[in-house]
Every structure is written in structure tokens, then in C-alpha cells.
């Protein structure tokens, strides 16, 4: 078994010399650590820093966040995806204000009690913000540990995940969990890379079992590959009297509460144009015609790979703007082109806006 000092000393020395200057590392404020950890789930660091800085400018503390309208929070989050994360931040902040007198929890159980907070986030905030001994194991840490210890099973298996967490705690020097946890994550992010690991620059080079066996690229053992489902969708930008129609999706389901242009899945032998006309009638009651192709935008979410066929369309006979029936939305707006940036859209629709109106 690896000795604690043999593992931790070179790792912490390396971190002291090479740690990135990230804004939430300057104060270790619990609110900032919490926001950063939630943003970093499913999102690369280089994208998160800018979003984090803009978020702090708009929502500098839990009180301001709790008082913010959901639409404003979702707009600030737009581009990070997985909008449930933003809604959970809002729910948790309001819980803190309503039930904890505006004071964030200071222990693991307290964080777990907040809406939308899971074991990983609770552990990360407690370890990094409060320097409390909780194992913080993300994909980077799992990869480092799988290679160091030559784990021959997928790291998501319960036994492997338990082993990694136990070793991470056992190898942490007393009182150093804040820096040790970040050092492991940083090592995975900068050196122990998935496809092109920089083994010669690794401070743990000499104790890495996978390197000794020359099987670094075989660790971690991959989990079962995800099978992606292709779908074709049609959507249309409806313009009337110089304004653009948008509608807000229902409060539950995919992209809940985001704004969109109406549309839907292309069915059977339909053309994209036929789908657009049908969807507008079903969702709004509008009769639209003269669809003109704008673009085909490709994007993905969860297990789907979407081809979004985008059109510009108009109301039949340029009729005045009637109220829609809102069969698939909770509210609607007719907005000017320059107002579109004030609303949060799914990624594919935001790409359409950027390509069409920029």
C-alpha cells in the first residue's frame, strides 16, 4: 500500500506550484465554492470561469440569488445546459433564506438537506470551503486513482468508487483536505489526461502502477458505451408586423421554463416544412405558410443527437397577431429582435438566434 507522505507530499508541492488562479480559490467563500462546483458539473473549466464571474456580478450572495426571478437565473445560466442545476440553486437559496435565516450550512448533513444537493456537492463544499474531511471524487480524481492503483474494473462500480473515496481520505494529511482534494482534481485536469496523459510531468510518476505496467491508456476501464438516438426536429421563427413569436415551455419536462420557437419531431414521411406547419397549428392554432429554410443546426442533450431544421415563416395572409391557444406552453411574447437576448433558450434555439440575427 502507498504511504501517505509518499503520495501527498509531491502532489501538494506540485499543486502549490501549478494550481490555476481560479476566482473561487481566492477566498474559499462557501457560496462561491457551491456555485463553482455546480457549474463545473457537466461543464469544462475554461467555460465556467466566465460564467462564474458574470453570475457573481448578478447574484453576489445567497440573499440576492434567492430574491431573483427564475427567468433571470435561467438567462444567466444559458449556455451551460442542464438547467435543472440553475433551478436547484434557486430552490436551495430560497430554502436557506426561509429556513436557515440566510446562513449557509456548515456541515455535510446540512448541505444534503438543501434541495437539489447530492453527496458529491455536499462533500466538495465541506472539503473545499470548510476544510472538513470528506472525499471529493470527480471524474478527474477517479482517473488518477484508477491509474495509480491499476484498478481493473470501471470506476463507477460501487466497489471501485468506495475504494477510491477511502484511499483519497486515507492519503490526505491531517488538515489538508482542501488543498489535497483540489490537487487531485487539478492533476487529472492538467496532467493525467484521458487520451494524452503527460506522465513525464506527473508528480506521482514513480508510484503509478499503470505507468509501470505501460497500460496508462487502458485505465480507467471504460463503462458500457452510451448509445445515442438521432432525431430530426423542425422549428420556425414566426415574424409578424416586425415582431417575433416566442413561447415559454411548460414548468415540467425537457427544457422546462425555457423560451423557444414552436416546432417538434418530424414524423413518418413528413417533410420538415409539413412538420413546421402542423406543429404551429397544434401548439398555437396559428396557420403559417411560406416556410423558408434558415439552417440545419446540430446539437445534443442526454442520449439524443438532434438535427434541428430551422425556418422563417409568416402568418397566412399576413393577418394581425392573434392570441395563441398555448397547447404546449405556459405563456407567450411577441418581441423585437434585439430583445431575444433577454430570454433563456435551449442551446439549439440560441444557435439559431445567433446565426440568424447576429
Active site (catalytic) residues: 37
Classify residue 210 as exposed, middle or buried by CB count within 10 Å of its CB (0-12, 13-18, 19+): buried
| Distances 25 to 39, 129, 154, 318 between C-alpha atoms, Å | 15, 9, 31, 56
Contact partners, residue 216, CB within 8 Å, separation at least 6: 147, 197, 199, 208, 210
Structural contact between residues 25 and 36, judged by C-beta atoms closer than 8 angstroms: no
From 248, 231, 260, select the one nearest 348 (Cα to Cα): 260
Q: β-strand 243-248 against 263-265: which pairing, if any? A: unpaired
Measure the CA–CA gap between 167 and 184, rounded to whole angstroms: 12
Identify the residue whose cell numbers are 488543498: 179
- Strand 331-335 relative to strand 304-315, pairing: unpaired
Amino acid at each position: 500500500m502507498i504511504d501517505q507522505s509518499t503520495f501527498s507530499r509531491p502532489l501538494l508541492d506540485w499543486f502549490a506550484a501549478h494550481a490555476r488562479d481560479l476566482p473561487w480559490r481566492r477566498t474559499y467563500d462557501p457560496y462561491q465554492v457551491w456555485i463553482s462546483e455546480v457549474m463545473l458539473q457537466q461543464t469544462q473549466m475554461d467555460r465556467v470561469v466566465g460564467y462564474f464571474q458574470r453570475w457573481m456580478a448578478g447574484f453576489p450572495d445567497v440573499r440576492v440569488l434567492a430574491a431573483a426571478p427564475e427567468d433571470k437565473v435561467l438567462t444567466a445560466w444559458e449556455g451551460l445546459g442542464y438547467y435543472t442545476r440553475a433551478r436547484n440553486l434557486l430552490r436551495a437559496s430560497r430554502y436557506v433564506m426561509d429556513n436557515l435565516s440566510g446562513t449557509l450550512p456548515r456541515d455535510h448533513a446540512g448541505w444534503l438537506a438543501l434541495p437539489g444537493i447530492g453527496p458529491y456537492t455536499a462533500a466538495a463544499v465541506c472539503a473545499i470551503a470548510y476544510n472538513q474531511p470528506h472525499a471529493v471524487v470527480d471524474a478527474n480524481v477517479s482517473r488518477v486513482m484508477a491509474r495509480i492503483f491499476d484498478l481493473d474494473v470501471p470506476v463507477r462500480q460501487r466497489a471501485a468508487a468506495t475504494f477510491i473515496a477511502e484511499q483519497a481520505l486515507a492519503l490526505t494529511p491531517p488538515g489538508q483536505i482542501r488543498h489535497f482534494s483540489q490537487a487531485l482534481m487539478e492533476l487529472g485536469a492538467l496532467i493525467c489526461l484521458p487520451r494524452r496523459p503527460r506522465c513525464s510531468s506527473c508528480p506521482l510518476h514513480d508510484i503509478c502502477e499503470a505507468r509501470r505496467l505501460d497500460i496508462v491508456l487502458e485505465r480507467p476501464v471504460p463503462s458500457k458505451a452510451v448509445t445515442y438516438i438521432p432525431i430530426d426536429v423542425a422549428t420556425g421563427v414566426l415574424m409578424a408586423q416586425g415582431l417575433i413569436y416566442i413561447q415559454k415551455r411548460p414548468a415540467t419536462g425537457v427544457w422546462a421554463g425555457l423560451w423557444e420557437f414552436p416546432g417538434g419531431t418530424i414524423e413518418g414521411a413528413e417533410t420538415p416544412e409539413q412538420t413546421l406547419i402542423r406543429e404551429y397549428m397544434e401548439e398555437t392554432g396559428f396557420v403559417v405558410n411560406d416556410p423558408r429554410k434558415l439552417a440545419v443546426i446540430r446539437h445534443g442533450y442526454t442520449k439524443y443527437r438532434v438535427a434541428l431544421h430551422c425556418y422563417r415563416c409568416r402568418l397566412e395572409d399576413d393577418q394581425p397577431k392573434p392570441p395563441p391557444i398555448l397547447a404546449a406552453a405556459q405563456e407567450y411574447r411577441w418581441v423585437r429582435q434585439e430583445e431575444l437576448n433577454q430570454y433563456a433558450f435551449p442551446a439549439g434555439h440560441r444557435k439559431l438566434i445567433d446565426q440568424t440575427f447576429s
